[in-house]
Structure 1
């Protein structure tokens, strides 16, 4: 009787208001933040903090207001952010087993499907990472042959710089192609010519996807994938690009299947095909063609984007600080000279050059917010309870510019990595590769490439700005933090 009377009394507008009030109350109750949960700014009903930018500068301000462990809500999901060396180290090193899993990030899940190396979990992740680690070393890091491959690519790249004949040029895709060719020799057993249009388009699509994946609209897709899946936006470009990228990689796999000789493995794909045969009785390990393609993409992006971007930042800072460039070149002259290429064995004798490379990585800040992890059990961090299944982001940028750790955190200063006697010194707060069980798989390879390529650049050329075109040191924030497009001059030495 009461409901019948209420129904007769209320008009259509009244019912809409009633339904909205019920939904609002449900949202408030469902998303009420427990007192023990990390604090954060007020979240809008239904939407949460979707209009709060996820860039590292915004997160730094939030950390100042709410402390080194704070939270934001995107839709109905709460995400915890961890800032500063002390808390980041606590999460990644001291409690490394608590934050080892990956959450589902809808945009990336469409592509990587929770398999491969970077975004998988549990037994499959352990098996794929172990296999990749073993065979990356076999086909590269553990052999002098990879250093030779880098030297070969160095010659191609320096020749490409020479072909510009002192004219203004954008080094972006010359550097990206060179770096990607090094990981390509490990994965595919061959390199690509700089004039290969298909490979150039492949690199452009991958770069575009990485930039757009960090855009605010793509982040909105991650909060409301069901709502935005069929609507236009940058997320559609990201997904479309990755579909074409996967087609490119599939062609490489098919070619390897046709030519495969189990007695003569040439590269990562060949040994993976052999492992598929060995692990037929263990499907949970995930050794199949679909996972192989995702693993190739994982390794290709990890072995290209951060290294190539760091090298571009390096050239930018040399253009802005010619006195530092001259000092690096003087050290190269004294240790290597001009008659041979630099080698990894030269690095201990070149502390200033090593310091410049490390400082470029620090202030370049390539992956400022890291990639999300997830609490795989109820955990206490900074006095707050992080429930199992909660996504976390370690803000690596906050460590790389931590005012307690660096004398001039916002200034390019190689002295950060030199002791009082001018010798190279390691720094605890230097975490561009992250830390713990999810530390970058190719860190050793990256360090080798950065030293050999950067040193060769400055051995062969002096870099300067195009008159009237001093490049900006303000970066472009996508999924990574990269330089804006720029042109420079490369004068042979």
Structure 2
């Protein structure tokens, strides 16, 4: 009898719950508006291959700051403008921490590494990397000294041209070597075959990642696999991995646990030899993390320094004002130091404006880790989301002249440097760039040091106004290959 009563009570309770659910149903997923998709191709016909970010900004003028676009058959939510992007990246905390499964990066990293991993592997790799960079002196004097040493090596190369045209890409050697010093505990001679091979491979990979064939592969992996569109880049990646494995093996045997490490590679090896029950730092992931740091650490800072110098040649008046400030504050001979940013407001403003104006990395997609409320819409778990950083750095509500190169964006009426909340070239929130502190130090010391030493000019017979500042087709918005002149200042 007791069991019967218990069963009846259970049924009554279940009936009550069903009634409650009927009165208060779970909210249905609600997607933002967007253009009507075509069969198979979705909205691809509305997006330019070379400047997809600008096409998305044009769509936002019609559909608002939060809208849906179909990349093939994949529904993707796009966020444009400072308010929408910041609300999503900062306000959602971990709900937008994941990456969607991008086909080519799934093949390359197999869910490992730092930048395209998600969940526990990403959290472990990121926390380890942030902790290790701090222990290696990033953001402090030891790292600044290494940057200044590399600046002297770079100036030795430029002096060898004696004011004659040099290839713009040469400026990328110094940031790349700073990254390699941090990763492997040693700098390379600029003619070292390993150094030359790595830079050449990274350049080819970045161009391939931005190519239409790879974009097609990511949207239609089955078709891309059928046409073997991914094979060239996988071959290049494997060549880089081979070099990295050799460099990592050269760091063996690692120092005993507890002793200070001299490089990121040493720290990775130690971590892999320690207590790692989930295998988050197995050998394959050590290579994956190193690959991510090599690719990101060389390309972004190298391209930004090249843009900075190219824009100084293009805007000679701005270059002159920077050099006047450097001469007045630093005087002849004294190299810049990180703390000089506080007393060089115009130089600091120019460098910030370079990063705002070039929008080097327009966007890297995120993915909802759970059902997520965003801009008044309820997105299901697993929805790809594009926080469009270009739209933040060119937001008309945040910048007075967004389409122009204008250092005044970062200066007040008294010429003091002004921080701007919409300055997000490194993104923001839990996925903010792990190398932001290093990149800021590198860029300031290299940029100020070069302008202190050289008058930067176009090649003979070329007017500054005719210099090409159209981005080259690649994964990042890097400048096109060209030559400039660096004439030593008296």
Same fold (TM over 0.5): yes
Alpha carbons 1:107, 1:222 under 8 Å: kept:
yes
Q: Distance in 1 between matches of 2:261 and 2:395?
A: 46
1:194 is aligned to 2:190: yes
**What SS does the aligned partner of 1:195 have?**
coil
Q: What 5-or-longer segments of structure 2 have no aligned partner?
A: 1-27
Range 427-436 or range 174-183, more displaced: 174-183
- Return closer, same or farther for 1:81/1:477 CA change in 2, 3 Å cut-off: farther
Runs of 4+ displaced beyond 6 Å? none
Equivalent residue for 1:295, pick from 289, 294, 302? 289
DSSP-derived class of the 2:94 partner: coil
Q: C-alpha distance in 2, partners of 1:217/1:48?
A: 18
Moved more, 186-195 or 353-362: 186-195
Output the CA distance in 2 between the equivalents of 1:202 and 1:266.
21
How far does the alpha carbon of each residue in 1:128-168 deviate from its partner, in whole angstroms, 9 at most, with x for none?
Answer: 11111111111131542111100100000011111111111
Aligned residues: 455
Aligned to 2:24: none
Matches within 5 A, 1:303-382: 303-368=297-362, 370-382=363-375
Per-residue deviation at 1:232?
4.5
Match of 1:109 in 2: 106
Are 1:246 and 2:241 counterparts?
yes
Looking at structure 2, the residues matched to 97 and 419 of structure 1 have their Cα atoms a distance apart, in angstroms, of 35
Give runs of aligned pairs for residues 480-491 of structure 1, distance below 5 A. 480-491=476-487
8 Å Cα contact 1:53-1:216 kept in structure 2? no
Q: Residue in 2 aligned with 1:421?
A: 414
Mapping of 1:167-178 within 5 angstroms?
Answer: 167-172=164-169, 174-178=170-174
Give the match's secondary structure for 1:102. Answer: coil
Asked whether 1:41 is paired with 2:38, we answer no
Give per-residue Cα distances to partners, 1:168-200, cap 9 Å, x unaligned: 12121x222210111111110001111123322
Q: Which residue of 2 aligns with 1:62?
A: 59
Alpha carbons 1:471, 1:486 under 8 Å: kept:
no
1: CA distance, partners of 2:151 / 2:219: 43
User: Aligned-pair distance for 1:266?
Assistant: 2.2
Return the offset for 1:308: 1.0
Q: What residue number does 2:227 align with? A: 231
Unaligned runs of 5+ in 1: 1-33
Match for residue 25 of structure 1? none
TM-score normalised by structure 2 residue count: 0.89
Q: CA RMSD in A?
A: 1.7
Q: How many angstroms apart in 1 are the aligned matches of 2:451 and 2:421?
A: 28
Q: For residue 41 of structure 1, report the CA deviation from its aligned partner.
A: 2.1
Is 1:265 the equivalent of 2:261?
Answer: yes
User: What is the CA-CA distance between 1:259 and the residue it aligns to?
Assistant: 6.3
Equivalent runs, 1:184-223 vs 2, <5 Å: 184-223=180-219
